[in-house]
Amino acid sequence: MFALVDCNNFYVSCERVFNPSLNSKPVVVLSNNDGCIIARSNEAKQIGIKMGAPFFKTADLLRANQVVICSSNYPLYGDMSGRIMNTLGQFTPQLEVYSIDEAFLDLAGISTDLNEYAIQIHKTVLRNIGVPVSIGIGPTKALAKTANYYAKKIPEYKGILILNRQKKIEDALRQFAINEVWGIGRQYADFLNKHQVKTAWDFIQLPDEWVRKNMTITGLRIKKELTGISCLPLEQAPPDKKSICTSRSFGSPQTDLESIQKAIASFAGQCAYKLRKQKSCANLLIVFMHTNKFNPYESQYSPSLPFRLPAATNSSLELVKYALLTLEKIYKAGYHYQKAGVMVTEIVPQDQVQGCLFDEIDHGKHGAIMKALDRINAKYGPDTLTMAIQGGSTDWRQRRERVSPSYTTCWKDIINIQV
């Protein structure tokens, strides 16, 4: 059996832990740049605020209902997530961290009553961290996901549902709308609806060959999982990333090469850091940018250009240098750039890097500098030490107008208690 532990309205719940005045009020959390709504409290969902809705289009509805609006605070959410995963890890080491707010647990070998076990997890996470979770349990990951959906949706279940008997599973699948199934997105849901497949139960009645032909092997796996045949194993150690991307929308449209250079330098530096964190190096770097695709009156330009590195590297100095060279090749004056980014691919483990015969760079020296850089930033906070080119004016920086303090990751933001 697998359990899926999923935090309720995770980002909103994190905000509420440190600001209890938000409890029982409608609250939303915005995406980066205060662009879209990406988390809603139950009260906000009831008002009819949609997931992913652009903030500026929803502003009237939010105001009319006195919805509390928060900018996203990823240092806070990331840290809270880490604490939750640690707590779950104390229940079992058979743990897959599936996303910032979800984890699968393999329950093989758990001798206690599963319902009692789930209640303990729920209580412990709430006590240790203050975030409410829902727990779904089933014989496969897809069925645990299904159970979790009902655990969250139906108040009588009090956040826990175990799908352990055939009859219970069948009842759940008969009511389960096909578009809610894990792995069935908009396109497949529309396609299946056209073929009179409305529920998960309808779906598992389809012949294997038909599913395979129309939805690839991925679709067939979902079908098998829903029928109780486990095809998706627990992945305890997340595999190394095959591509790493750092990109941001700008706080306001940018036109000058100089300010975009600062942004690109900072993105390339971030990519280098992420590579070092997974002990990898990249062979290919891609710089891209685009104008505002939502504006039909503006002339559009979305260049992207790859650059093959002389040798695989994770040095910020090198990646920043080549990213800026690449940027100069694609930058054209006269456009209003809205977003830019740097991606690195063809990633290899750092201890398997092939040298380059004509390389002028002293990699040993770079490695030592990067080590020092990472140590300083770990100790004194991100961006304490950066490339000089990143500094100065930061016109491109994002909007974050309603951000809460970093209560758990920044000394000056720690809550003061007056005695």
Partner DNA sequence: TCTGGGGTCCTAGGACCC
In the shown chain, the binding pattern of residues 42 to 81 toward DNA, with x for contact by CB under 7 A and - for none, equals ----------x-xxxx------------------------
- The beta-strand segments (E) located in 72-216 are 95-99, 102-106, 133-138, 160-162
* Interface pick for DNA out of 8, 19, 32, 94 (rule CB under 7 A): 32
Site for DNA in 319-348 (CB under 7 A): 338-339, 341, 343
Q: Under a CB-based contact definition with an 8 Å cutoff, are residues 181 and 137 in contact?
A: no
Q: Is 311 exposed, middle or buried (0-12, 13-18, 19+ CB in 10 A)?
A: middle
* Interface pick for DNA out of 274, 363, 400, 402 (rule CB under 7 A): 274
* Interface pick for DNA out of 242, 308, 379, 412 (rule CB under 7 A): 242
- Shortest Cβ 398–DNA spacing (Å): 6
Residue 299 interacting with DNA (CB under 7 A): no
- The beta-strand segments (E) located in 240-356 are 244-254, 280-291, 304-313, 337-349
The residue (of 217 and 357) whose beta carbon lies closer to DNA is 217
Residue 117 interacting with DNA (CB under 7 A): no
The residue (of 38 and 234) whose beta carbon lies closer to DNA is 38
Q: In whole angstroms, how far apart are CA 231 and each of 75, 142, 180, 217, 220?
A: 34, 9, 19, 11, 10
* Interface pick for DNA out of 155, 156, 196, 217 (rule CB under 7 A): 217
The residue (of 26 and 136) whose beta carbon lies closer to DNA is 136
- The beta-strand segments (E) located in 119-263 are 133-138, 160-162, 244-254
Q: In whole angstroms, how far apart are CA 381 and each of 297, 325, 373, 388?
A: 42, 29, 11, 17
- Shortest Cβ 56–DNA spacing (Å): 3
* Interface pick for DNA out of 8, 17, 18, 31 (rule CB under 7 A): 31
Residue 398 interacting with DNA (CB under 7 A): yes
* Interface pick for DNA out of 25, 198, 248, 321 (rule CB under 7 A): 248
Residue 33 interacting with DNA (CB under 7 A): yes
Q: Please count the residues of this chain forming the interface with DNA, following the rule CB under 7 A.
A: 50
β 133-138/280-291 pair status: unpaired
Q: In whole angstroms, how far apart are CA 66 and each of 12, 43, 62, 204?
A: 16, 11, 6, 44
- Shortest Cβ 285–DNA spacing (Å): 13
- Shortest Cβ 31–DNA spacing (Å): 3
Angle, CA 76 vertex, CA 70 and CA 80 arms, to 5°: 120
Sheet of 68-70, strands arranged across: 37-40, 27-30, 68-70
The residue (of 329 and 365) whose beta carbon lies closer to DNA is 329
Q: Contact residues for DNA (CB under 7 A)?
A: 31-33, 35-36, 38, 52, 54-57, 98-102, 145, 181-189, 216-218, 239, 241-249, 252-253, 274, 292, 294-295, 338-339, 341, 343, 398
